[in-house]
A and B are shown apart, each in its own frame.
Chain A
Amino acid sequence: MIIPINVQPVGSTSRTFPPQLAQFGTDELVLIDLQGFLDVEGDKQGQAIGKLRVDDGTKPTLLIGHHLLEGKLVNLPKPLAVMRRASVTDAEDMTGHGSPERSASTSWNIVAVVKRKMVFSTRPMPMVGRVTPVSSDGRPPKSRG
């Protein structure tokens, strides 16, 4: 069995991150390393998780509900290729210039090569009484007490 891997720098999003975020990855993709797993009750689609701030150049903080996480910029020991499985329509497109029987049903596209990541490795700090609801446009929480 042969599974081809192609390069396809992000096609679906034409937007790019502002430089402040792009420094943590690429213009189009950032890896965030979290302890634990992000989940919400019910339908996840389009749900807001929290607020991400970047202060003093490279100090990210992530506010999720009443918890504040402090993160940092970490250079990866080895670059990571982010691959996305090609959807069926992509695979059909490919048969145009590739050999159809080889690509079979699966193929992967490298959408980005990242050399840094945003790491949140500390325990969350509870933010009592000064939490800004996600929806409101009030003052953002101070990252330092």
Chain B
Amino acid sequence: MNEYTLNFSSSSEDNGKFKLLELPPELCKLVESAINSNTSPSLMIKGQPNEDAVLCTADKTYTVRSIVLSNSMVVATPPAASSSEDSEDSIEIRDQLNEILELVPTVPKLHKLESLLRGQEYDDGDIDDMYDDDEQRPTKRWRYTYEDVSGSIQASEVELQRGLKERRILTLNGQLRPLRPSYLTTILELLLNTLVSLSLPHTAAPVDRLVDTLAQAYDIQRDVSTQVMSWFGTILSDSWDMDVDAVVKEVGLGLLRPHKDGPIAEAEFLQKWRKAVGDTFEARVSLQLLSGNYLSDRSLTQEVVQLTYFPSSALPVEPAARFTDLFLTRDRWTADDLAPFLADIVVDSKDRDKLLLKYARAVTGSEGVWYMARAKYNR
């Protein structure tokens, strides 16, 4: 039998009910294994009505783009089991489509976290929690929980949790509270000091003892110090393996942060930084750790390299606006200098090259390749 009758479906309930989703290879594997094992692939479309929809897997985010087809795609299936006559050789048309949804890997839209949680910072001497049960303060401020944020941030679970960690956002009583950077630096310096004064090994420090000491001597909430420790290392059954580089970096950031407008000499900064992390860790101090957070300038008059705090996290997320900002800051960049300031808006180096091609002009000089703004309007 090689002839089949093509019919419209005997009911119109399926019209407009179908969509075609183009699957990148890794996503296809995920979906197929979910089909084979009959489990949920935990895929979801996320977004507010005014945002471009994204599709999130457990650990990746894709933007969803609609591609209009000039042809129509007919979704054909065998006839429903209920229909009786000669269904052996008939095909039913369930729907006709003129659109395919394409998925493009994208960076998670985590920057919304900052605006969402603005004004919710947790700081030294935060006594808010004490007042929460107090009858005298009936108007409790609105706080976001993880669930609230997970619903409105276009990012996968894994990316969102990493984002919370990278942005140093605490979860206190189920509420998300960004930790004020200056307080974080204080806690880290206290942790380093405590490690030294109690002569504890930084690869296996007893969590309870550190938390106790910080709570008793410096009045730091146990919840807070435990979470800070989990950001800067791994906690395995009451033993903290400190991520030295991460701690050293954060302390360095804390020292650099005030120098947004008034630059600091590199040598002076490094000296301050070494002092802050103490003898044990001063060998780990390296400007490399702060890449993407500072600009270094060699001033013409003196042979001194000046550092300015310039965090890429404060730059616009939109590529066009980011490049405008970068080229306003500096006329020309080397690829190595520029890369750290693009790292958070690109998926990989290929993606970065694509942006550079679009928004920057490469000029090969005697010292190598310089990137400059594409158009100069005033000159």
Assess whether B31 is in contact with A14, with CB atoms less than 8 Å apart: no
Assess whether A45 is in contact with B18, with CB atoms less than 8 Å apart: no
Report B134 CB to chain A, min CB distance, Å.
30
| Best-buried of B55, B78, B100 by chain A (most CB within 10 Å) | B78
Q: Mask for B40-51, Cβ within 8 A of A = 1, else 0?
A: 110111111100
A15-B79, A84-B18 known; A31+B74 contact, CB < 8 A: yes
* Cα–Cα distance between A55 and B3 once the two chains are bound (Å): 9
Q: Mask for A107-145, Cβ within 8 A of B = 1, else 0?
A: 010100100010001000000000000100000100000
Assess whether B31 is in contact with A113, with CB atoms less than 8 Å apart: yes
Assess whether B10 is in contact with A45, with CB atoms less than 8 Å apart: yes
Q: Mask for A1-19, Cβ within 8 A of B = 1, else 0?
A: 1111111011011111110
Q: Which of B7, B23, B78, B87 contacts A81 (CB 8 A)?
A: B23
A72 at the interface (CB under 8 A from B): no
Assess whether B49 is in contact with A79, with CB atoms less than 8 Å apart: no
Assess whether A140 is in contact with B3, with CB atoms less than 8 Å apart: yes
Assess whether B23 is in contact with A1, with CB atoms less than 8 Å apart: no
Interface size (A, Cβ < 8 Å)? 61
A15-B81, A32-B76, A79-B28 known; A49+B7 contact, CB < 8 A: yes
* Cα–Cα distance between A25 and B20 once the two chains are bound (Å): 13
Assess whether B8 is in contact with A49, with CB atoms less than 8 Å apart: yes
B204 at the interface (CB under 8 A from A): no
29 contacting pairs across A/B (C-beta < 8 A): A3-B44, A4-B44, A13-B78, A13-B81, A18-B1, A31-B20, A32-B74, A33-B72, A35-B70, A38-B74, A38-B96, A44-B8, A46-B7, A46-B10, A51-B5, A53-B2, A53-B3, A54-B2, A54-B4, A78-B28, A80-B23, A81-B21, A82-B19, A83-B21, A85-B17, A110-B35, A113-B32, A134-B5, A140-B3
Give B residues with C-beta under 8 Å from A. Answer: 1-14, 17-25, 28, 31-32, 34-35, 38-41, 43-49, 55, 70-81, 87, 91, 93, 96, 100, 151
11 extra interface residue pairs, beta carbon distance < 8 Å, beyond A1-B46, A5-B43, A5-B55: A3-B46, A4-B44, A7-B34, A21-B4, A29-B77, A31-B74, A38-B74, A81-B23, A81-B28, A83-B19, A113-B23
